[in-house]
Amino acid sequence: MAPEAVRATLPGTDYVDPAVFELERERIFFKRWYYLGRADALAEPGDYVVYDVAGESIVVVCGKDRVLRGFYNVCRHRGSRLCEPESGHVRGAIKCPYHAWTYSLDGRLIGTPMVAEEEVDRSSLGLWPVTADVWAGFLFVNFSESPEPLVDTLAAEPESPLPLERFGPLGELRVGHRTVVDVSANWKVHVENFNECLHCPTVHPELVAVVPAYRRGDVLEEGRDDGGVAITDGGTSLTRTGRSSLPVMPGFEEHEATSIYSIFVFPNMFLDISPTSAIATCLHPRGPEKTTVVTEYLFRQEVLDDPDLDPTEVIEFNELVNEQDFVVCERVQRGVRSRAFTHGVYARKDELPYAFNQRYLALRETAS
């Protein structure tokens, strides 16, 4: 039998070249809906969170009407950074720490101390907006002037998260634990790694013991059309044993309550849902060779409130898997720097990384 046609990976330079990263910033991160994390910290008017999106600082604030709004984190007077702490609370307005120009929670310029109102047109000097929206408790932003509605974008994803909203339900879950890790690897290396399991038997012996399909290098289970992958021996939790003391969350039918569901939302979100918890991962690209990985572990509020229910084993097991992934992603990053790596090849079970790279290239090469 003749060998299959070679499906080439990206060249090594695409993982290390600053010029490529600049294209990604302008044509992907600043044009697509970009995942930031859970909106839990933005519950009350005046709550704010600062995010770095590929080198651009933004602030998302909860308005008096409880609508979340995003803004560039820069004063319209002389360009000072407005908010430095990663999160906090302001009483009714955002005040620049330089010259005390003051902005309402909806971004309007409302105060210019020692600058008379007739000197400047306050109505034209509100904060520069960034569109923010929330789906199922997950916060996204879009820098485009007139972005497609978030829910429409999510519905069109090859792995749409919308059908998974009923698990939990996702919108009712709360962050029980959060980790932030800087990994010396390109963001695309992380995406490719998440989307295949050929590495799982070698890199994740503990994981393949719990999810048998992963031992075969599969990310999807043959014969299923719901995207679920079975946990061994009818387990209900992503732990070393596949079991935990945590109850199965609402939304899971009997045949789903022993499976996990994992999807990638382009360009920077991983979502893993088991019957007892959900794990949301955000990739923050910091440059061509560094990514900050934020992992939020989500549980029902009653689980977090009950001293007899301990989510520690869920967190510890998945932190182990994460660390194993970080090690190999950094190893890949060191390897693709080689002048010899003009490209690699995709095997049959690399279908999802190949599809990601084809989509990525189409967007990166589109100038509009």
Q: Please name each of the domains of the chain with its CATH number.
A: 34-151 (2.102.10.10), 163-364 (3.90.380.10)
Joined tokens for residue 165 = 């909203």
Q: Return d(Cα 359, Cα 195) in angstroms, integer.
A: 14
CA-closest candidate to residue 218, choices 67, 352, 29: 352
pLDDT tens by residue, 150-161: 999 999 999 999
What is the pLDDT at residue 220? 86
Q: Return d(Cα 49, Cα 100) in angstroms, integer.
A: 20
What is the pLDDT at residue 268? 98
Give the helix/strand (H/E) hosting 18: helix 18-24
Q: Return d(Cα 311, Cα 297) in angstroms, integer.
A: 9
| Beta carbons within 10 angstroms of residue 78's beta carbon | 10
What is the pLDDT at residue 223? 82
Q: Return d(Cα 260, Cα 248) in angstroms, integer.
A: 12
Q: Return d(Cα 159, Cα 344) in angstroms, integer.
A: 25
Cis preceding linkage at 18, omega within 30: no
Q: Return d(Cα 243, Cα 234) in angstroms, integer.
A: 9
pTM: 0.95
Which pairing describes strands 109-111 and 129-135: parallel, antiparallel, or unpaired? unpaired
What is the pLDDT at residue 4? 67
| Beta carbons of 209 and 202 less than 8 angstroms apart | no
Joined tokens for residue 250 = 């609402």
For residue 105, give the 3-state DSSP assignment.
Answer: coil
Joined tokens for residue 272 = 């893993």
How confident is the prediction along the chain (368 residues), in pLDDT tens digits per residue? 456 677 999 999 999 999 999 999 999 999 999 999 999 999 999 999 999 999 999 999 999 999 999 999 999 999 999 999 889 999 999 999 999 999 999 999 999 999 998 999 999 999 999 999 999 999 999 999 999 999 999 999 999 999 999 999 999 999 999 999 999 999 999 999 999 999 999 999 999 999 999 999 999 888 888 899 999 999 999 999 999 999 999 999 998 999 999 999 999 999 999 999 999 999 999 999 999 999 999 999 999 999 999 999 999 999 999 999 999 999 999 999 999 999 999 999 999 999 999 999 999 998 55
